[in-house]
A and B are shown apart, each in its own frame.
Chain A
Amino acid sequence: MSGQLDMIILLFVIISGIGAITVRDLLGAAILFGAYSFLMCLLWAIMGAVDVAFTEASVGAGVSTVLFVAAVFRTTRRTKD
């Protein structure tokens, strides 16, 4: 762990994680989840795990968000909680 930057990004990760499960719109939740994945990838790049950060940026933030948005468009954006 190195200094202040990872603490700030860790705070953003927690905020976007809470936002992804509280927003009342599934498309917004999917986009916030993509932001969560990309911030997590930045955190891993800071920690020195560059290979894991590459994989997370392509697979986690890329493919997962695309799959989620596709699933939301095939079902519904409505959510009650």
Chain B
Amino acid sequence: MSEFIDFFVGKYNYWAFILLMMIGLYAMIAKKNLAKKIIGMNIFQTAIILFYISTAAKGGGASIPIIAHGHGHGLSEHGARAADYINPLPHVLMLTAIVVSVATLGVALTLAVKVYHQYGTLEEDEIADRIRAQTGGEP
């Protein structure tokens, strides 16, 4: 029983990522407002980025991936031990993901502004009502 509890408490960060992803998914599906849907999409993206960053982290006193005394001397004699540095590969991948997420946010907000200028509201059900009124009953 105690190792069962240790299994769940020891991986609390993974439960937090799953909780954040589900918050974002709930906002994308259940919220009627378009801006709330966009916020949910961004929360979903940052939860995935957080998961990748946490896979790069290491215990045991690993520091940020900058080689100490790497300039000139020291490196050629000893080399760099990989256990002393946090894995930088997921960081570089997630840098791209952050830039992509702000680009999608910009495009989504632009579309929301255009929808507001067309229909005068950001609520999904009211937009559907106005489309139905314009087309004469057809959804």
Given A14-B19, A59-B102, A60-B101: 13 more A-B contacts, CB < 8 Å: A13-B16, A17-B23, A21-B23, A21-B39, A21-B40, A47-B54, A52-B53, A56-B98, A60-B46, A68-B35, A79-B33, A80-B123, A81-B32
Binds A, one of B75-83, B109-117, B130-138: B109-117
Name the CB-closest residue of B to A45: B64
Residues of A in contact with B (beta carbons under 8 Å apart):
1, 6-7, 10, 13-14, 17-18, 20-21, 26, 29, 33, 36-37, 40, 43-44, 47-52, 55-56, 59-60, 63-64, 67-68, 71-72, 74-76, 78-81
A20-B39, A20-B43, A63-B102 known; A26-B56 Cβ under 8 A: no
Name the CB-closest residue of A to B98: A55
B interface, by DSSP: helix, strand, loop or mixed? helix
Q: How large is the interface on B (under 10, 10 to 19, 20 to 34, 35 or more residues)?
A: 35 or more
Beta-carbon contact of A40 and B50 below 8 Å = yes
Beta-carbon contact of B13 and A10 below 8 Å = yes
Beta-carbon contact of A49 and B53 below 8 Å = yes
